[in-house]
Chain A
Amino acid sequence: MVRRRKDSGALLAEATKVADAIHQQDRAAEAKMEQEVRAQRTLMPIDTIQPRAFDSRPLREKHVAELAESIAALGLIEPLVIDRNGVLLAGGHRLAAIQALKEIHTAIYQQLFPGDRIPVRVMDFDAEAEPERSLQVELAENEKRQNYTRDQIEQLADRLRSLNYKDTRGRPKEGEKALGPALAVAIGVSTRYVRKVLSEKAGSEQLSENRNSDPIFREIKLLKKVELALLDLSKVENSKDRTTNEQALMKAIPGFLKKIQSCLREKAKTIDL
């Protein structure tokens, strides 16, 4: 059966009508985009940012100090989040850190935040009228911390390295700063996570390269532990009702301790060579 075609003029006219309808949607979508972009990032004078009515978490002084150091090195990576009236929704520690930076390193502060203006993201609602929503924002803000891509983390690490931060494990030498913890504070994740990302990036051969993975160091560490434990054990006061087994063990300890100590001396020599 041959299907009878509709009038092509009517078909084209229909399309023109739909184009007008979609145009309304185009405009609505555009307006929404604009609003979202506007909501994303703006600068606010620091003293117009008001504290929350009640803080859900007390500030940890140590964290504030670490953040201040991180902001001095890297700038403020995540803007503070405020409601439409300028009430802080998320970033209490960051705000305190910025205020601390202003007092301690005024020059760096002025360079980072010229005109006392702080990057903020404005959420278009009233925290007082919608306390539940403001709590949600705060929680979401503290949860989304792992959203940095590996490349972003690597870039931040590079900036820290150029500022003489070192990514070796253990305590940094004098004049150096530890990269892992600094980066962890900056983006609000664990040091462990930062190290995992950085070592994956550098290639897995570096993953376990620390002193403990060297068999000699590991052996020395264990021997020292045994030595200390035996010394402690031999200092325990003699009680009279010891079993024969215990007596035999106590008798053997001095000789065993000697062997361990001579082993440790030998090992120390091999390391020096």
Chain B
Amino acid sequence: MTRHSVAVAARKGGVGKTTVACGLASILADRGDRVLVVDLDPQSNAAYVLGSDPTASGTADLLSGNSPTPLQVSSNLFVLPGGPDLTGHNIQSLDPEDLADAIAQLDYDIFIFDCPPGVEYLERLGLVAADTALVCTDAHPLAVMGAGRVLNELKLRAQKKRRGAKSWSLVLTRIDLRRAMDQTLDRQLAEAYPTIERFIVHQDSALAWASAERIPLMQYDPKCKGAADLQAVADWVTHG
């Protein structure tokens, strides 16, 4: 089986990165892959929404050259928590390729990097360690701006033939088609980025509740609209 590594990024906060990352992880684990979620967020939300201990040693420890044991969420799903140690000086001064090197030894089928909002050096670690990137945006100009910055960075790295994600797509999150801006978003992004694939994840309270109740999506409600939307993203990640 080929290994996949996926970075979920947005630059903007609150658009649904962690929801997409953990929902996708649950789906892929449910399909039989061994999945590791690597949380790059100092706020350490990924382990929390998956029902694990967000304060356990995790990504920062891995990046410091140690071998933390990922927390097991379900039979195939594991998570390395983020946390405030990610803001330390030793992490800031890492080479962008250090995460890519650190995960090379780990035995998983799929790695999902939940990138933080704002903190570019952490986001970059994820983008460089991934072979695929999912750039999330909701239907607001501020989120579109954040996604645009990430896309530009991905494009630049690829042009320079640097290590990192080779393909990427846009994930339109929290879409409620009763709203004018949400109706326009897909068309607008198609115009601005005609060659980039787009996926829509609809506004779905089941996604929010799964996170709040700290239950992986496929155990919480495998048939909800949000899960169906993310299935399409999972197909693209594994089959292109």
Query: A residues touching B (Cβ–Cβ < 8 Å)?
Result: 5, 7-9, 11-16, 18-20, 22-23, 26-27, 37
- Chain A residue with the shortest CB-CB distance to B182: A8
Q: Which residues of A contact B141 (CB under 8 A)?
A: 11-12, 14-15
Query: B residues touching A (Cβ–Cβ < 8 Å)?
Result: 93, 120, 139, 141-142, 144-149, 151-153, 156, 180-181, 183-185, 187-189, 191-192
Expressed in whole angstroms, the Cα–Cα distance for A7 and B156 within the complex equals 31
- Chain A residue with the shortest CB-CB distance to B179: A8
Q: Which residues of B contact A11 (CB under 8 A)?
A: 141, 181
Chain B interface main SS type: helix
Expressed in whole angstroms, the Cα–Cα distance for A253 and B201 within the complex equals 103
A23 touches B148 (CB 8 A): yes
A15 touches B149 (CB 8 A): no
Q: Which residues of B contact A12 (CB under 8 A)?
A: 139, 141, 144, 181, 184-185, 188-189
B156 touches A15 (CB 8 A): no
B153 touches A26 (CB 8 A): yes
Take A11-B141, A14-B141 as given contacts and tell me if A19 and B181 are in contact as well, using a CB distance cutoff of 8 Å: no
- Chain B residue with the shortest CB-CB distance to A24: B152
B126 to chain A, nearest CB (A): 16
B192 touches A16 (CB 8 A): yes
B45 to chain A, nearest CB (A): 25
Q: Which residues of A contact B139 (CB under 8 A)?
A: 8, 12
B187 touches A9 (CB 8 A): yes
B180 touches A8 (CB 8 A): yes
Expressed in whole angstroms, the Cα–Cα distance for A12 and B144 within the complex equals 7
Expressed in whole angstroms, the Cα–Cα distance for A15 and B12 within the complex equals 13
B118 to chain A, nearest CB (A): 12
B181 touches A18 (CB 8 A): no
Expressed in whole angstroms, the Cα–Cα distance for A77 and B146 within the complex equals 41
- Chain B residue with the shortest CB-CB distance to A12: B188
Take A15-B142, A16-B144, A27-B156 as given contacts and tell me if A8 and B184 are in contact as well, using a CB distance cutoff of 8 Å: yes
B153 touches A15 (CB 8 A): no
- Chain B residue with the shortest CB-CB distance to A33: B121
List the 5 closest pairs (A to B, CB-CB), nearest first. A19-B148, A15-B141, A23-B152, A15-B144, A12-B188
Q: Which residues of B contact A8 (CB under 8 A)?
A: 139, 180-181, 183-184
Expressed in whole angstroms, the Cα–Cα distance for A202 and B237 within the complex equals 57
A13 touches B192 (CB 8 A): yes
B180 touches A16 (CB 8 A): no
A19 touches B191 (CB 8 A): no
Q: Among the interface residues A8, A12, A18, A19, which one has the most CB atoms of the partner chain B within 10 A?
A: A12
What would 15 A/B residue contacts be, using CB atoms closer than 8 Å?
A: A5-B180, A8-B183, A9-B187, A9-B188, A12-B185, A12-B189, A15-B148, A16-B145, A19-B144, A19-B145, A19-B146, A19-B149, A22-B148, A23-B156, A26-B149
B96 to chain A, nearest CB (A): 11
Q: Which residues of B contact A15 (CB under 8 A)?
A: 141-142, 144-145, 148
